[in-house]
Amino acid sequence: SERVLVTGAASGIGAALVDRLLARGDRVLALDRAPVAPRPGVEVLTCDLADPAAITSVLERVDVDGGVDRVAHVAGVPGTAPPLSVLAVNVLAPVLLVGTLIARMAPGGSAVTVSSVAAHRSAVPDDELDELLAATDPDGLARWLARHPHSGAEAYDTAKKALVRWTRLAAGDAVARGIRVNSVSPGPVETPILADFRASMGEADIDRAAATVGRHGRPEEVAAAIAFLLGPDASWISGTDLPVEGGLLAVRAARAA
């Protein structure tokens, strides 16, 4: 049985992933700032991912317990939050947490991050994303925001775009050590965060997505994709982003063609 750390484990996609991993016999380290119900096979890690010091202490605790074989960064905050919090949880937290866990992983390990189709809405170019990814603390994020002003909603899109880029670059660095790193990009999924997306991205956009592909996704459908990329069935896949959106991007491409 493997030890898998899941962030955002208290709700939605993260909670569905925990269920799935337990069903296949993994031991789960369930990280969230919100309470996670204790149950057999689950070790709860309470942590506010917006706080780098809290991430450092979680990493120490994980190390003392023998490290992890795999990690899924599912936690995220919507664009209704202030831009600095959006960048802290959706970019800096995975860079610090997933980056460190990858560096300490044994060969055969894997990581998955959760981005979003919203990444395609950001026009921020790669060199500016790289500046954002170079921030090592919230002050660095604040300096980046001062140079590149973003609303909360814009910060969400840019954060998810930066996360796809980071994941790909981290995957390239990890290949030589036998570790795989991938991301998934969900379209709208029926979880509590969807109400916030309606507020930050506009109800029309969210409803149009459902109209385009017939419905919103279910958290289990995204959890299945994450579990696939984390596990041995994806042993020859690294550095890729898997859209999980019912064909939304394909329909948009077909319409634009």
Binding site for ligand NAI (CB under 6 A): 8, 10-14, 32-34, 47-50, 74-77, 89, 114, 116, 186, 188-189, 191-194, 197, 219
- Between 27 and 198, CB nearer to ligand NAI: 198
Report the nearest approach of ligand NAI to the CB of residue 76 (Å).
2
Rounded to the nearest 5°, which phi and psi values hold at 197?
-65, -40
Please, are residues 8 and 30 in contact by the beta-carbon 8 Å criterion?
Answer: no
Report the nearest approach of ligand NAI to the CB of residue 196 (Å).
8
Cα gap 217→210, rounded to integer Å:
9
Cα gap 182→127, rounded to integer Å:
21
Report the nearest approach of ligand NAI to the CB of residue 58 (Å).
10
Q: Nearest to residue 160, comparing CAs of 59, 103, 241?
A: 241
Q: Nearest to residue 73, comparing CAs of 5, 165, 172?
A: 5
- Between 25 and 74, CB nearer to ligand NAI: 74
Cα gap 104→102, rounded to integer Å:
5
- Between 80 and 238, CB nearer to ligand NAI: 80
Strands of 27-32's sheet, edge to edge? 42-46, 27-32, 3-7, 70-73, 110-114, 180-186, 241-244
Assigned token pair, 112: 């998955």
Report the nearest approach of ligand NAI to the CB of residue 236 (Å).
25
Report the nearest approach of ligand NAI to the CB of residue 38 (Å).
15
Report the nearest approach of ligand NAI to the CB of residue 176 (Å).
28
- Between 34 and 103, CB nearer to ligand NAI: 34
SS3 letters across 152-180: HHHHHHHHHHHHHHHHHHHHHHHHHHCCE
- Between 91 and 124, CB nearer to ligand NAI: 91
Instruction: Count the helices and strands in the chain (H runs, E runs).
Output: 11, 7
- Between 47 and 101, CB nearer to ligand NAI: 47
- Between 108 and 213, CB nearer to ligand NAI: 213
Report the nearest approach of ligand NAI to the CB of residue 153 (Å).
12
